[in-house]
A and B are shown apart, each in its own frame.
Chain A
Amino acid sequence: MKIVVCIKQVPDTNEVRLDPKTGTLIRDGVPSIINPDDKAGLEAALRLKDAYGAHVTVVTMGPPQAKIALQEAYAMGADRVILLTDRVFAGADTLATSTTIAAAIKKLDYDLVITGRQAIDGDTAQVGPQIAEHLGLPQISYVSDFENHGDYAVVKRVFEDGFQKIKVGYPCLITTLSEMNEARYMNIRGILDANRVLEIETWQFSDIDADIEEMGLKGSPTKVKKSFTKGAKQAGKVLEGTPKELAVAIVDKLHEKFII
């Protein structure tokens, strides 16, 4: 079985803090991590490798420093790691990103493609399904369990109100939830190899078959018109009164905020 896992290097948003005066993000010194949903996908692939002897290739698109995420993936047990990096890939929205990554995957052999459900910096959940479309693969998103049955898989697909069990043939693409598993740590030999002997394969635009008009900022149908912070949090109103008055005050506020 050949598996391709797509990962993204993201700032650990749990560590991102807002400047209380300006309301802007303080990103200095914020560590970069493998996106949690993607790490669960990598772990799922490595478990298939442990059980059935799969070959696991990990692909990421990003700036040169994203190779640190690939070193970690290698030290966890991936067999091959590929960095897609080129100035023409920069500024991509989800459609352009998925087009680039799909073009790279087309160069590889695969039975199963795994992406995380969504990245914690963008929260779009769009790139996985869009890669599946570009590759013409069936997609199962929001996966919390995966069973290999030889020439097909049975996966658990989570909804807000329950879950489906879905039978899907190979090749296919799944998007994984971080709660799917507990990712392993890097092994010592892997860490040493990643630092000493691992040469990260670096692919540029010229290494994939794609239309340059569909790459990066130029190939992105959506554009950011403006971005802004919600501002630093202020303490809200504190109300006193009879229980009835207070209950009504809460209802009014929830109405105003469109919560009820």
Chain B
Amino acid sequence: MNQKDYSGVLVFAEQRSGEIQNVSLELLGKGRKIADELGASLMAVLPGKDMKKHSRLLIEYGADQVVLIEDDSLSIYMTEPYTQAVVQTIETYKPEVVLFGATSIGRDLAPRVSARIRTGLTADCTSLDVSEDKMLLMTRPAFGGNIMATIVCPDHRPQMSTVRPGVMTKMERDASRVGEVIESDWKPERNTQWVEVLSFEQETDEKQDIQEATVLISGGRGVGSAENFGVLYDLADELGGMVSASRAAVDSGWMDHERQVGQTGKTVRPNLYFACGISGAIQHVAGMEEADFIVAVNKDKNAKIFEVADLGIVGDVHKIIPLLTEEIKKINESKKVK
């Protein structure tokens, strides 16, 4: 393999039900920076069905070229046809870097692709940089986030990674950006690795597990009543998270035991944990101290919870949380992709 044959950055553009996923736009933002540092171009590959109208969006968010691959077998995600489509794109355009979102799709597809073309893959990266000798530096957490490791892929190309959603920043959308849409002539090769998707069901919040949530809005005795949890649900909706509770709130009957965080409940490690009206008993802290970022809101400025919080807010949950929800709502509306 001659490394000089490989150039440019390729981003896997993930669509679900015909909608480009936010993480793919974030990857274009990061991919743009990497491509500029390498003095190379940024390409997106978009497998799907009837996606042509969306290919322009990828250019407006930073891509120089979009490889559009359309086929009935790509309308919903399936491992084998997607692997074939992405592998063909890599073999045709020989990018030196390939990025996938670390979603349940990207983390199924990327290892399959990496094994088929026999190159390295780094999982769930939270930081990407380019070294002085133009290698991709891929940094990721391990041991439940206790250790960070920087990984390189020195002798194989492309250098591939999956990247955690919500970590990279997308570019400002620029409708004047110029780029090229390449329509691929790819056709699936039906083989023994084909499966049949019988159905897809959207799942409601009720069935989900607080341990799977990336954002948790947690309430304690200070929330005051089951009705008062309403403001926490509003904030969770805006942040795409779930509501959980301390033992005091569960024992008061304001929340199901399923949602209890702490020693007698569940241990959680979300990206963001809001402790609202929670005093911070050691049994509670044991269940949430590994969260990446902790915000605590409590009236009592001597509350123990402030010792583990990254940001402590002394004040009334019922006044601050609704105002915060309003602010975040404004931001979300201004960010919406049309």
Contact = CB atoms under 8 A, between A and B. Distances in A.
Interface of A: 13-14, 16, 18, 25, 93-95, 98, 120-130, 132-134, 136-142, 154, 158-169, 172, 179, 220-230, 233, 235-241, 243-244, 246-251, 253-254, 257-260
A158 B137 CA distance: 31
Nearest to B161: A222
Contact of B295 (A94, A230, A250): A250
Contacts of B16: 161
Contact of B327 (A137, A233, A248): A248
B2 interface: no
Given A224-B151, A225-B151, A130 B203 contact: no
A167 B151 contact: no
Given A166-B196, A243-B315, A222 B120 contact: yes
Contacts of B111: 94, 124-130, 133
Contacts of A258: 166-169
Contacts, number: 238
A16 B144 contact: yes
Contact of B114 (A95, A179, A225, A243): A95
A138 B80 contact: yes
Contact of A246 (B120, B144, B315): B315
Contacts of B116: 133
Given A133-B112, A235-B306, A240-B315, A138 B195 contact: yes
B199 interface: yes
A222 to B, nearest CB: 4
B166 A134 contact: no
A162 B309 contact: no
A163 to B, nearest CB: 6
A139 B143 contact: no
Interface string B88-126: 000000000000000111011011101110111111100
Contacts of A221: 118-120, 153, 155-156
A185 B54 CA distance: 52
Nearest to B107: A125
B28 to A, nearest CB: 15
Given A161-B16, A163-B201, A258-B167, 11 more contacts: A95-B118, A124-B124, A130-B112, A133-B115, A139-B108, A141-B79, A221-B156, A222-B122, A224-B151, A240-B301, A259-B272
A122 B152 contact: no
B198 A167 contact: yes
A16 B124 contact: no
Interface stretch (B34-42, B246-254, B318-326): B318-326
A129 B112 contact: yes
A241 B152 CA distance: 46
Interface in B194-217: 194-203, 209, 215
B327 A251 contact: yes
Nearest to B123: A124
A244 B168 CA distance: 28
Contacts of B311: 236-237, 239, 249-250, 253
Contacts of B76: 164
A98 B118 CA distance: 11
Contacts of B314: 238-240, 246
B224 interface: no
Nearest to B309: A236
26 contacts: A13-B144, A16-B143, A16-B146, A25-B146, A123-B124, A124-B123, A129-B112, A133-B112, A138-B194, A162-B201, A162-B202, A164-B197, A165-B199, A165-B201, A172-B195, A179-B209, A221-B120, A222-B122, A227-B148, A228-B147, A235-B308, A236-B309, A238-B301, A239-B314, A250-B311, A260-B331
B143 A13 contact: yes
Q: What is the size category of the interface that chain B forms with chain A?
A: 35 or more
B193 interface: yes
A93 B80 contact: no
Contact of A247 (B156, B308, B309, B324): B324
Contacts of B244: none
Given A25-B147, A166-B196, A250 B107 contact: no
Given A125-B107, A238-B306, A251-B324, A229 B121 contact: no
Contacts of B203: 161-163
Nearest to A119: B142
A123 B146 CA distance: 12
Contacts of A133: 83, 111-112, 115-116
Contacts of B326: 247
Contacts of A93: 120
Contacts of B294: 236
A225 B208 CA distance: 37
Contacts of B153: 221-223
B267 A14 contact: yes
Contacts of A225: 137, 150-152
A228 B239 CA distance: 30
B316 interface: yes
B135 to A, nearest CB: 9
- Which residue of A132, A161, A224 has the most chain B CB atoms within 10 A of its CB atom? A161
A240 B301 CA distance: 9
Contacts of A122: 123, 142
Nearest to A255: B331
Nearest to A257: B293
B249 to A, nearest CB: 21
